[in-house]
Amino acid sequence: MKIVIQRVSEASVSIEGNRVAEIGKGLLILVGIVNEDTQEDINWLCNKIINLRIFPDENGVMNTSLKASKGDVILVSQFTLHASTKKGNRPSYIKAAKPDVAIPLYEKFKERLQDVLEKPIQTGMFGADMKVRLLNDGPVTIIIDSKNRD
């Protein structure tokens, strides 16, 4: 599982002109899933997300976690995170899990993240053509691959 975390002052997701998710201060998290991903990947990433100290403390130093800052989350599925660009100019998405594998893992990821954050999170819609707006705060953008945790 690969994620891109963006610390935001605000973010929203719209589908066909309808806003389906909107937050103020928090994280916009893009998630890409491969066939090999498991509950272990989900658990590790969720723990990392809520404890990653990327919010400013009282001195303006990035030393506060999402959980401590009480920030919100929008979770958006994005199979293009697993694009291969080794050959030619058209990316290949062969590594990305098909919906029958990816959707259940995405839902488990959402549920687990809500559980560890102890509050609801907002989402886009799996497989939809989404318009994502964000005001990146910092900017702070972090990429984490659960397969590179050792």
Which tens digits make up the pLDDT trace of 13-32? 999 999 999 999 999 999 99
Domains and their CATH numbers in the chain: 2-142 (3.50.80.10)
pLDDT (0 to 100) of residue 89: 93
Instruction: Output the six-digit token pair for 140.
Output: 């702070």
Active-site position among 78, 109, 122, 123 = 78
pLDDT at 101 (0 to 100): 96
Active-site residue flag, 78: yes
* Active-site position among 6, 38, 64, 80: 80
Q: What is the pLDDT of residues 90-127, one digit of tens each?
A: 999 999 999 999 999 999 999 999 999 999 999 999 98
pLDDT at 150: 72
**Which is more confident, 40 or 149?**
40
pLDDT on residue 149? 83
User: Do the Cβ atoms of 9 and 138 come closer than 8 Å?
Assistant: no
For residue 74, the model assigns a pLDDT of 98
Whole-number mean pLDDT of the chain? 96
Task: State yes or no: pLDDT of 63 exceeds 90.
Answer: yes
Residue of 6, 55, 79, 109 marked active site: 79
Query: Does 80 qualify as catalytic in the annotation?
Result: yes
